Amino acid sequence: MRTVAEPFTAEEVRVEPRDTPGITVNGTPADVAHVQKADIRVDLADDHGRSYVVEHVLGPLGLCGVTAARVEGIREDWQFARVEDRICYSRGVGPQGVVGHPGGYPNPAIAEGVGTVGVETHGDAVRHTVAEPVTVTAGDGSLTVAPRERGAGVRFEVAFRGEELTAEVDPAGDTDPDLVAAVTGSQTPYLTEDPREGITHSIADLVSDVAVIGGLEDVLVEADLTGAEGYHRLTVGASRRAHAEDLVVEH
Amino acid sequence: MTLPAPASVPDRATGVADRPGEGVNVAVAGIPDPAAVTATEDGYTGPSAGTLGRLAAAADAVDAAGGVLHAPVPDFTAAGPWLVVEPLDGRLATVAKGTGTVTVTLSAPTGHLDARLRGLRDRVDAVFEAARPTHDRYPVDRDEFGAFTPGLTTTEPAAVTVEEDGVTVTLDVATTPATTAAAIRQQFEAPAAVQDVAVTIDQGVERATPPPALRDAAEAAVAETLGDWAYEWLPGPSLFTQVPGGQKLAVGTGHPGADTYSHEAYRQLRAILTATMEAWG
């Protein structure tokens, strides 16, 4: 497993090392069993509470090769234009549950923070793929996760709103820094009107939902996210199906 | 499951409301005239289609799961927590935005009649332009799904008064916990002809604190019925704000202001209310 060498603060979250595999957000494990919502955003929930827009945290951590960390929301100011803040206020809890970047970016300060403190590797690198291709559809969108050989990493071949993008991500942290910068500097397609920026942003969501939440390190992801009516239905949906059908294999 | 014949709903609701009951109180927005509602293949249509459809669902749920249906008029002295049935598109609500008034006084336009009319129009347009919500991060001007504006201070034109010595534009304000009179004044001060901006906050934001077990029951019921729960703020005074105290939670299907109410919305609300009251006990 790979964890951050030291704690750091990245705008609305604090990231700390963890000595067991997996990433937790406000105490909730970031895995398919704890996904409460997956459409236009991803929320995790358990007895610790509910964390909102977690893909903006998990994406940058996954892009930087972090597989173990404890993430805590540290926001204190309300931003009521955000529906997630209104939900928290309605339930009488603070805004710490909303860990997504207020500007709609895969939190670039997390990537910078990981770069500053470094990553420590502990134990053998266990890697996972799928035993056979997994395809899900939602609305007019579709996504297929297919096996890749050990060490190959995650290859994304994505189409979205008339744009196409191919990206290679190494879940062990050896991803092209320019790609990481481009992805974390791209605003969510729900806010930007630039389709190129939207598809670039989608790589962070794919890393979050397939590599981190799905725990898949060596896969080919072919996706047409257009018309999915909330494309996390596809990205988390594929991970859910792979786990539900026992198709996730260590290799 | 389909909506009952409109004409049958008032008697059915009255019968359930008249029965002795205990448990959670269920408040509905009165008993509308069923003659104004038409049954269609898809559900109800008519100005009070939603009110009648939600009443039908509430009556069924109380009949099945217990509780006390308050119709046509709520007894606000009743003990216990309240489920308040509102058009919330399947969401829950514990918060209602506050209310206020902003009065913008502008100088009188001068010159010949045409110039005065043009000046009047320009002054009113400038105030309405200033009234449009803005945000430094979010595209609130193209908020077609209402993602941002429910959380912003918003205004609605209420009156324009033209007199010899000036023009007065009055707007109703919906406030948030972050609203300040100073920020509203600043919003309307910019147009050149503005002489004064007066802000009155009549009612602050109301946030209820329902019993956690009731909230948990309602969240679970909505998640079971719709796949997930969510909350939204009510836009202002409503049945919810009439219920005194903080032991209340609003829930409901159907869109505010809609003149249709579907069989599916009826089925969903009936299921949500029934499951909530069964879990609450």
Chain A residue nearest residue B94, CA to CA: A90
**Is residue B182 located within the same domain as residue B228?**
no
Q: Is the pLDDT of residue B48 over 90?
A: yes
Q: Is A81 close to B228, i.e. CB distance below 8 A?
A: no
B contact test, residue of A12, A42, A87, A236 with most B CBs within 10 A: A87
Tell whether B170 is covered by a domain: yes
Tell whether B184 is covered by a domain: yes
The pair of structure tokens assigned to A204 is 């962070």
Q: What is A128-250's CATH topology?
A: lpxc deacetylase, domain 1 (3.30.1700)
Nearest Cβ partner of A102 from B93, B137, B232? B137
Segments making up each domain of chain A, as ranges: 2-121, 128-250
B contact test, residue of A86, A87, A192, A197 with most B CBs within 10 A: A86
Measured in residues, chain B has a length of 281
Rounded distance, CA B1 to CA B23, Å?
Answer: 26
**Is residue B30 located within the same domain as residue B51?**
yes
Sign of CA dihedral A168, A172, A178, A182: positive
Q: Is A90 close to B215, i.e. CB distance below 8 A?
A: no
* Structural domain count of chain B: 2
**Is residue B271 located within the same domain as residue B214?**
yes
Is the minimum CB–CB distance between A76 and chain B shorter than 8 Å? no
Rounded distance, CA B6 to CA B43, Å?
Answer: 10
CB–CB of A91/B231 below 8 Å?
Answer: yes
**Is residue B170 located within the same domain as residue B226?**
no
Question: If we measure between CA atoms, which residue out of B87, B158, B93, B162 comes closest to residue B128?
Answer: B158
- Nearest-CA distance from A50 to chain B in Å? 11
Tell whether B1 is covered by a domain: no
Q: Is the pLDDT of residue B21 over 90?
A: no
Q: Is B151 close to A90, i.e. CB distance below 8 A?
A: no
Q: Is A103 close to B137, i.e. CB distance below 8 A?
A: yes
Mark which of B203, B232, B254 sits at the end of a domain: B203
- Burial bucket for residue B123 (CB in 10 Å: 0-12, 13-18, 19+): buried
- The type of residue at A235 is T
Nearest Cβ partner of B152 from A81, A92, A102? A81
CB–CB of B140/B149 below 8 Å?
Answer: yes
**Is residue B137 located within the same domain as residue B182?**
yes
Q: Is the pLDDT of residue A100 over 90?
A: yes
Which residues of chain A have a CB within 8 Å of the CB of B147? 83
Mark which of B203, B218, B234 sits at the end of a domain: B203
The predicted model gives A195-213 an average pLDDT of 97
pLDDT tens by residue, B163-222: 989 999 999 999 999 999 999 999 999 999 999 999 999 999 999 999 999 999 999 999
Q: Is B140 close to A89, i.e. CB distance below 8 A?
A: no
Chain B residue nearest residue A87, CA to CA: B231
Q: Is the pLDDT of residue A251 over 80?
A: yes
Instruction: Quote the pTM value.
Output: 0.95
**Is residue B121 located within the same domain as residue B245?**
no
**Is residue B199 located within the same domain as residue B169?**
yes
Is the minimum CB–CB distance between A93 and chain B shorter than 8 Å? no
- Nearest-CA distance from A139 to chain B in Å? 17
How many CB contacts within 8 angstroms connect chain A with chain B?
57
Rounded distance, CA B261 to CA B18, Å?
Answer: 26
Rounded distance, CA B205 to CA B148, Å?
Answer: 17
**Is residue B108 located within the same domain as residue B67?**
no
pLDDT of B143:
87
Does the bond joining A189 to the residue before it have cis omega, within 30 degrees of 0? no
How remote is the C-alpha of B40 from its chain's centroid? 26
Q: CB B132: neighbour CB atoms within 10 A?
A: 11
The pair of structure tokens assigned to B198 is 């007066």
**Is residue B89 located within the same domain as residue B221?**
yes
Chain A residue nearest residue B135, CA to CA: A81
Which residues of chain A have a CB within 8 Å of the CB of B247? none
pLDDT tens by residue, A49-87: 999 999 999 999 999 999 999 999 999 999 999 999 999
Chain B residue nearest residue A192, CA to CA: B139
- % of chain A with per-residue pLDDT over 90: 96
Q: Is B151 close to A82, i.e. CB distance below 8 A?
A: yes
**Is residue B49 located within the same domain as residue B18?**
yes
Mark which of B163, B183, B203 sits at the end of a domain: B203
Question: If we measure between CA atoms, which residue out of B105, B193, B176 comes closest to residue B135?
Answer: B176
CATH number at residue B227: 3.40.630.10
Structural domain containing residue B111? 98-203
Going by pLDDT thresholds of 50, 70 and 90, the confidence category of residue B124 is very high
pLDDT of B141:
86
Nearest 5°: phi and psi at B20? -65, 140
The pair of structure tokens assigned to B33 is 């005239």
Helix/strand/coil for B279: helix
Rounded distance, CA B128 to CA B17, Å?
Answer: 46
CB–CB of B199/B170 below 8 Å?
Answer: no
**Is residue B226 located within the same domain as residue B180?**
no
CB–CB of A161/A189 below 8 Å?
Answer: yes
Chain A residue nearest residue B176, CA to CA: A80
Describe chain A by its helix, strand, coil percentages, rounded to 5.
Answer: 30, 30, 40
A contact test, residue of B89, B136, B137 with most A CBs within 10 A: B137
Which residues of chain B have a CB within 8 Å of the CB of A36? 228
- Nearest-CA distance from A104 to chain B in Å? 9
Is the minimum CB–CB distance between A37 and chain B shorter than 8 Å? yes
Residues of B with CB under 8 A from a CB of A: 92-95, 135, 137-140, 147-152, 176-178, 207, 209, 215, 228, 230-233
Q: How far apart are the first and last CA of chain B?
A: 25
- % of chain B with per-residue pLDDT over 90: 93
Show which of residues 135-194 on chain A sit within 8 Å of chain B, judged by CB atoms. 191
CATH number of A2-121: 3.30.230.20
- Nearest-CA distance from B150 to chain A in Å? 7
- Nearest-CA distance from B38 to chain A in Å? 33
CB–CB of A62/A180 below 8 Å?
Answer: no
Measured in residues, chain A has a length of 251
Helix/strand/coil for A134: strand
**Is residue B191 located within the same domain as residue B215?**
no
Nearest Cβ partner of B233 from A78, A86, A91? A86
pLDDT tens by residue, B64-116: 999 999 999 999 999 999 999 999 999 999 999 999 999 999 999 999 999 99
pLDDT tens by residue, A107-127: 999 999 999 999 999 987 789
Q: Is A86 close to B135, i.e. CB distance below 8 A?
A: no
CATH number at residue B155: 3.30.70.360
pLDDT tens by residue, A147-175: 999 999 999 999 999 999 999 999 888 99
Name B144's Cβ contacts closer than 8 Å, sequence gap at least 6. none
Rounded distance, CA A93 to CA A85, Å?
Answer: 9
Tell whether B194 is covered by a domain: yes
pLDDT of A119:
96
